[in-house]
A and B are shown apart, each in its own frame.
Chain A
Amino acid sequence: MTRESTHCFAADLGGTKLAAAMADARGQIVAELTEPTDPRGGAHVAEQIAASAGKLARTVGIEATQLRHVMVGVPGAIDPLTRRVSLTPNITGLQDFDVLDYLRSRFGPGVEIENDVNLAMLGEQALGCARQCRNAAFLALGTGAGLGLLIDGKLFHGARGSAGEIADLPIGRDPTSQAAATSGTFELEVGSLAIVDRYRRQGGATGVTVRDIFRLLEEGDEVAAAVLDTTARWVALAVATLQSLLDLELIVFGGSIGVRAELYERVRRALPALFSRPITIAPSELGDRAGLIGAVCAAAQALRQNREPAESALQLP
């Protein structure tokens, strides 16, 4: 038996970068790193996560093997029974490799994985703009579209771990098309590829990125404005949909596109016409660190609960 650990490890795995942090039981981050995600995917990425824990542990002067509480955010749906990750178009080989099993073989049973957008929701609830919220959503808009849901104070995963897979919302031009079946109807309208494509189709220049489109908007480009208007209308329809289903207190906008004021202000303006009751939306306070901070909070909580077991509930005789 190694010594009881005093630190926990958290990571947020994205398609392009891996962010990792070491924190104490209060959730205070003591060391942190960011590096590009290993493009070879699968097992290499899992090893990279373990290696980053080793690097951070050394900077604090502890052994990585002492880390008992690990939370890793992954960009995909997690099956509640098998704990396997699916729907991860951004990282190759992650569906076929059992990340959780590998990490548990390195760090023990205290390793958990969680959908990255769910962790972003937790981060905003703990330290961001959703403090005190019991019914809220984190809407991530970037390369793709995802949703983390907080229902009655708890993260909500759904029957097969794919609650919040809103890329598949039937909000878009043709929900029965082949393309919609592959990428998801809603993602086909609001994902970064869709925005770039829309800009080209409406007569804008080719070869621009979403970032370019936001810059062009600032320079007074009318096509860019029209493209964002259209995108915001689709997003507003999704927001009205979420509100009518779940009656949320707050919908947090995150992701590289979601946090842009040029987008969420357009969504906010479109909402009153679509929905008769008020809907509160706000940009993520934690930005691209929301997922990592959520993972740190979850790992630190597990560490605290392990060290100071909660008073046991009364058991039925």
Chain B
Amino acid sequence: MPSQPLASVTRQLSRRSVFEALLHRSPISRADLAKVTGLSKQTTSEVIDAFQQQGLVRPVGRTSGNVGRTAVLYELSPAGGHVLGIDLGARLTVTLADIAGRVLAEADEPTDSRGGAWALEQIARLADRLARDNHTHPSRIRSIVLATPGVVNPRSGAIEMAPNISGLGHLNVVGFLSEKLGSPVAIENDINLALLGEIWHGCAQKVANVAFLALGTGVGLGLYVNGQLVRGENGAAGEIGYLPIGGDPLQAEARLQGCLEYQVGAHGIVRRYREAGGSDVDSARRVFELAQAGDTVAASVIEETARLTGLAAATIVATVDPQLIVLGGSVGARTDFADKVARVLLRLAPRPVEIRTSTLGKRAGVVGALSVALNKLHDELFGVADLAAALPLPPPRAHASR
């Protein structure tokens, strides 16, 4: 039960609806805010005055073209608070945005190969630099979300099974970063966040049931059903590298790395090309290039990769019945590859499902991290007891140039 007195809850609700209207309809006048929210003009003005004092809104001009007096237009102020999205993989991407979701700056560099605490120090350094470059103090950053490979235990917050970054497993990542950056940090699996990124700004907008199938160095799945991420009992839902597809699941390497990932992960593509008599290539991308150039061995390796991915997609369709499957990751997001997978799925699934390729590409994870960081900040500022639903985020905006 809410412990607040009713007047206080009413005030919170008013603030929340004015904020929501500003989020979606800026610039907007006081009169229009009152119209949109259904609040009285007086209440609307009181909320706007309070917001202005807090630095949450600013005037941005006046209405024009109407007969009679012009009115002041307001928008959310970029100084109202900032959020940080971080994607920690082979590369490290850090993005700073304001409370309205406008991207202010982004930095991207190879992750410190020493991993562990060095990678975390690198995050703190980049965050600090982005804040200062944008003339804001790091303390104005009020919500931070980190995308990381591996399984994030929903109870302990620990990162488990993150094979591509060394030395993270035994660190208290949340504690370390919260301390360093001075605001709360949340961690979420990078593929789950890439999926949320596509839902906010990418190819899965307004879709209630989506599967995001990522193929690159690793293989993973994000599931979004009825408006929520599926995390599973221990945060390990979507660990589809372990699907028993593409070989003998009892074989040692397949058991260790996961049967499907052993075959269709980037290393698997390279290995199968070499095993089939191909030349000594160093990347999956090279195998795709050779296939395009007429190398028949490469072409058959790609076909087989598409067939196995199609089997994984059919498995997802039979089990969770998504409306849309998004293919992402360095291999998955290739349209030539996605077309092949779609053809395989058509043969396998009795009810066809649309396949799209990720439109955010490498930025999907960091965009998803921003969306969650924004939800958390909005909820902290305007959350109402017993009203758990997150404020809807504003529609996509053009990515501000650096």
Contact = CB atoms under 8 A, between A and B. Distances in A.
Contacts of A245: 221, 223, 237-238, 240, 243, 315-316, 319-320
Contacts of A248: 232-233
B384 A314 contact: yes
A274 B232 contact: no
A240 B249 contact: yes
B323 A134 contact: no
Contacts of B240: 244-245
Nearest to A133: B233
Contact of B230 (A147, A246, A276): A246
Nearest to A311: B1
B183 to A, nearest CB: 28
Given A244-B240, A273-B250, A181 B350 contact: yes
A135 B225 CA distance: 14
Which of A175, A237, A245 has most B Cβ within 10 Å?
A245
A159 B38 contact: no
A152 B350 CA distance: 28
Given A168-B349, A169-B318, A316-B17, A241 B225 contact: no
Which of B39, B228, B320 has most A Cβ within 10 Å?
B320
A237 B315 contact: no
Interface string A238-260: 00111011111100000000000
A276 B254 CA distance: 11
B383 to A, nearest CB: 12
A154 B226 CA distance: 11
Interface in A133-178: 134-135, 147, 149, 151-152, 154, 156-171, 175-176
B390 interface: no
A74 to B, nearest CB: 17
B244 A242 contact: no
Given A168-B350, A181-B350, A275-B242, A158 B320 contact: yes
Interface string B238-265: 1111111100011000011010000000
B233 A159 contact: no
B314 interface: yes
B235 interface: yes
A241 B319 contact: yes
Contacts of A1: none
B233 A175 contact: no
A164 B322 CA distance: 11
Contacts of A151: 225, 230
A169 B250 contact: no
B185 interface: no
Given A152-B228, A240-B249, A274-B244, A314 B387 contact: yes
B318 A247 contact: no
Contacts of B58: none
B82 interface: no
B91 interface: no
Given A163-B319, A184-B350, A317-B37, 20 more contacts: A156-B225, A169-B318, A169-B319, A170-B314, A175-B311, A244-B240, A245-B221, A245-B223, A245-B237, A245-B315, A245-B319, A246-B319, A246-B320, A247-B233, A247-B235, A276-B242, A277-B236, A313-B387, A314-B386, A317-B13
6 contacts: A149-B320, A157-B321, A241-B243, A245-B315, A246-B320, A277-B236
State the 8 A-B residue pairs at the shortest beta-carbon distance, nearest first.
Answer: A247-B232, A158-B321, A159-B323, A159-B209, A247-B237, A163-B321, A247-B236, A168-B318
